Amino acid sequence: MSLAFGKCFDPSGTVHGVPTYPWRMAPDGLATRRQLRARGLRPGGQRIAAQVMRLTRRRGIARVAYLYRITAAKPIRPMTPAKWAAHHAAMTARRTCPNCKTDAGYVIPTSLGMCVPCAYPPHHDSPKEGAR
């Protein structure tokens, strides 16, 4: 058994406080949030049942994903018309340039704070060719 595997294997939870398994070695019946979502489920307020842990190659940082019981998971809540309207309004606000007030057709980069044409306008200062 490798040292990294040994640090990540604690099925009783004595070291980490919660049962811990190495990456991709969790027992059946447990799933991460993303795995639950793929099945149309959500944790539904249940406590963390276990965790999977992986040590990175650089600096030995531990990556952790929490696991929930599939049997205790609840179905996801459907989107209501009001939620869809709020989502549409939020996305419209993210696509609208605050400078020229037009819909850019893409989410405005936060690094620019405005659409690309407003951030980098074409320069017409250069002298025309042939004019002397």
How many Cα atoms within 13 Å fall on the side-chain side of residue 92? 7
What range defines the domain where residue 95 resides?
A: 81-119
Asked if residue 20 lies in contact with residue 51, where contact means CB atoms within 8 angstroms, the answer is yes
- Do residues 69 and 103 share a domain? no
- On whether both 32 and 58 belong to a single domain, the answer is yes
Note whether residue 45 is domain-resident. Answer: yes
pLDDT at 114 over 60: yes
Predicted structure pTM score: 0.66
Q: How far apart are CA 101 and CA 67, in angstroms?
A: 45
Asked whether residue 85 falls in the same domain as residue 103, the answer is yes
pLDDT digits (tens, 9 = 90+) for 65-81: 999 999 999 999 999 99
CA 45/CA 48 separation, integer angstroms: 9
